[in-house]
Chains A and B, each alone.
Chain A
């Protein structure tokens, strides 16, 4: 042992490693965004808005890709049953990123329910993406490295703060209409075998379940109406998976939770995503489902949540709706 410790090569390697670690720490501090409103990648600003919410005020955390943040409107959930919710959704969110967003959210929130969009379970992510995603989270320089292009003086001295939140609570509002093409066989292939769910997705799902258990939250998977990529095969796979994992599952493309979407008027991009008219239909069903199945408190009369009333006023202005 003494021989190794006095070895010149070993000593130099240790010095090199310490130097590298210090360099990484320094650069990470420099590159880390100094506010949670920094757009690190498309949509992350809105997802990170949850970090600016007061502690333990969000009862429902939603995770997923664009299909979820265009379909469920947290402000309408507030209006209907006083449910406080936030969507940590990003475009094409990999299920491994859903895990990371939930981890981050649960550091300051203690949600009672976590809703995961069913669509990103099928993102086909490989094992290397999974580990790289984990690595990026632990060694944050990998996540923020590209900020060298937008560094300012304040990056050298300011401490990171989470001082911003989104008044739409992560929801993407659009009234644009672009009708979907006819698809006579949509969800009609009843005999389709279940689609394969990757090992990585299942592993991430277990991670999500573990986080939920640690904060005492329940997990619900929702397949929001989707004209372009949902199928009977995916529905069957989700049913089997949710039964095996003992997770609640709501499929809004089939059966009792069918949101009766009019694909001529309720979509903004030919059936890929819903517009606000479509989102209202979905939110109505989700609001009733949550109210009926989970004991979520109504915060509308709680003065601690005055900011939500203000946010709802902004929502009314944005949507041209009249107060009830």
Chain B
């Protein structure tokens, strides 16, 4: 998705859809939403819509096959005599379901792998063959990546897993399945939804309510402010410094790193505000994907607050199944005997975590920097778990109150710094570039670029910085309010009409007048839409 598509989405597509949806009889609203999803997909990705349609058909077919196996089991169980026979039927069903699931994973994750990663692995294998003198060269093919494939593939796989686990029933309504997978909001950047959370609501065609329209509209506006006032504004500076990092000193690189972390958050959480706000207009409650991530006191906590739906996917469909698998369970039992109740279970958890972070890194993109991004977090989380008892003892020994405000602030700042380093690795043009940038930050720390005016020639001047600081401060206050359990939109909705109107005007003026678009700015394409 490009920034242009985003403008069309919020400026024309969404208002038109609200109008058509409102005028349409309830029984057809689900179909309207489905058409809207495919329409948007086609507008953005053209012919590649074929992937989304085929993927939906395949998911539907597989889910029906699973439903048939489960129906067969229930029928056989009713006719079965004795526990042994029932056990055998259950075991047979489990085996069949596993086979079907393996096929589903092979097909869907396999397709994702081929389209997204085959060129990366092919190129690197060929490089390895060259270095080692093996006279083999694999053919490398580059494919156009269908929009949101990484998001809808995970949603599809989660749905099928949930059927296998009998958490949800396979839906016979193909329209509802198709809408769940192609909902216009979430196929671009998530959130990765679960079938039981959204499918019914999406298809139900809830009536448009003034309150939902008002609250959803404000949420959409907030999302646009995040993207247009902040994320776009920093884009040129970030692109220049990250692309030509060798020309800049440590302070500039540190600033680019900080601005990229803010940009990524504002872009991604802004898109989530737009998507969640748009869904809520239609009476659909999507799960939050962010929960004030920069207030995290550790990296582990950070990942429960940042891209929550991806973390939850890896937790429920990779981490738990791995730790509950027979080999890792056995490992835990043995390790617990040898290493005690803290370090024992940590062994299998660390192994599962390693797999999770390799997958998490690769999910973000086919590149060594993404793998390094995953490994960076794996190492930090593992070290955190390993040294947790020791660090607790050290803190207590020093007489620091762990629940105290000062220590909390220290933990938050430390986590924020580590997150910034992670995002630098993520954004760098390659792994070597990331290392070089980190090195420069610590070895070439100079402020001359600020003094000589280079800084303002890179797309952000002091007006931009001042405006950004004011807007970010307001978002910070809103985040503190949310952290304390409040909801800024709730707060606003309870104010007098004049105050509410003033707030709406401020949001609109921020976008229209203070938005970073037009001459002098390069709008950022929604960053996560590329994954």
Question: Which A residues are closer than 8 A to B by beta carbons?
Answer: 9, 12, 15-16, 19-20, 23-24, 27, 31, 40-42, 126, 128-129, 132, 136, 141-143, 145-146, 148-149
Contacts and interface: CB of A to CB of B under 8 A. Distances in A.
Nearest to B519: A41
B512 interface: yes
A24 B509 CA distance: 9
B505 A20 contact: yes
Nearest to A127: B8
Contacts of A142: 512, 518
B504 A148 contact: no
B505 A40 contact: no
B210 A9 contact: yes
B515 A19 contact: no
Nearest to A149: B463
Contacts of A41: 518-520
B342 interface: no
B497 interface: yes
Given A9-B210, A27-B513, A16 B520 contact: no
Interface in B491-517: 497, 501, 504-505, 508-509, 512-515, 517
A129 to B, nearest CB: 7
A150 to B, nearest CB: 9
B512 A42 contact: no
Q: What is the interface of chain B mostly: helix, strand, loop, or mixed?
A: helix
B518 A148 contact: no
B513 A40 contact: no
A132 B7 CA distance: 9
* List of 10 A-B pairs having minimum Cβ-Cβ separation, nearest first: A41-B519, A149-B463, A128-B4, A145-B513, A128-B8, A16-B501, A9-B210, A148-B513, A141-B512, A23-B505
Nearest to A136: B518
Interface in B203-217: 210
B5 interface: yes
B508 to A, nearest CB: 7
Contacts of B461: 149
9 contacts: A23-B505, A31-B513, A132-B7, A141-B512, A141-B513, A145-B513, A145-B515, A145-B517, A149-B461
Contacts of B504: 16
A31 B518 CA distance: 15
B372 to A, nearest CB: 36
Interface string B404-423: 00000000000000000000
Q: What is the interface of chain A mostly: helix, strand, loop, or mixed?
A: helix
B457 to A, nearest CB: 14
Given A19-B501, A145-B514, 10 more contacts: A27-B513, A31-B513, A40-B519, A41-B519, A128-B4, A128-B5, A132-B7, A146-B519, A149-B461, A149-B463
Which among A16, A142, A149 has the highest number of chain B CB atoms within 10 Å?
A149
A97 B461 CA distance: 27
A126 B4 contact: yes
Interface residues of B, number: 21
A143 B520 CA distance: 12
A19 B505 contact: yes
Contacts of A145: 512-515, 517-518
A120 B518 CA distance: 19
A129 B497 CA distance: 36
B206 to A, nearest CB: 18
A247 to B, nearest CB: 29
A136 B509 CA distance: 15
Interface of B: 4-5, 7-8, 210, 461, 463, 497, 501, 504-505, 508-509, 512-515, 517-520
Contacts of A15: 501
Contacts of A136: 518
Which among B505, B509, B513, B514 has the highest number of chain A CB atoms within 10 Å?
B513
B14 to A, nearest CB: 14
Contacts of B4: 126, 128-129
Nearest to B515: A145
B509 A12 contact: no
A146 B460 CA distance: 13
Which among A24, A41, A126, A146 has the highest number of chain B CB atoms within 10 Å?
A146
A218 B458 CA distance: 43
Nearest to A23: B505
Nearest to B213: A9
A149 to B, nearest CB: 4
Contacts of B463: 148-149
Contacts of A31: 513
Contacts of A42: 519
A30 to B, nearest CB: 10
A148 B514 contact: yes
Nearest to A31: B513
Nearest to B518: A146
B118 to A, nearest CB: 29
Contacts of A128: 4-5, 7-8
A146 B520 contact: yes
Contacts of B517: 145
A10 to B, nearest CB: 10
A193 B403 CA distance: 73
B15 to A, nearest CB: 14
A9 B210 CA distance: 9
B347 to A, nearest CB: 54
A51 B463 CA distance: 30
Contacts of B509: 23, 27
A23 B501 CA distance: 12
B473 to A, nearest CB: 18
B518 A20 contact: no
Contacts of A9: 210
Contacts of B519: 40-42, 146
B513 A143 contact: no
Contacts of A141: 512-513
A226 B515 CA distance: 36
B211 to A, nearest CB: 10
Nearest to A43: B519
A146 B514 CA distance: 7
Contacts of B513: 27, 31, 141, 145, 148
A19 B505 CA distance: 9
B214 to A, nearest CB: 9
Contacts of A40: 519
A146 to B, nearest CB: 6
Which among A31, A42, A145 has the highest number of chain B CB atoms within 10 Å?
A145
A128 B509 CA distance: 22
A128 B497 CA distance: 35
Contacts of B518: 41, 136, 142-143, 145-146
A142 B513 CA distance: 7
A149 B521 CA distance: 14
Contacts of A149: 461, 463
Contacts of B7: 128, 132
B323 to A, nearest CB: 48
A128 B10 CA distance: 12
B235 to A, nearest CB: 15
Contacts of A132: 7
A132 to B, nearest CB: 7
A158 B2 CA distance: 39
A143 B513 CA distance: 10
A151 to B, nearest CB: 11
Nearest to B463: A149
A31 B513 CA distance: 9
A249 B14 CA distance: 43
Nearest to B9: A128
A148 B191 CA distance: 36
Nearest to B6: A128
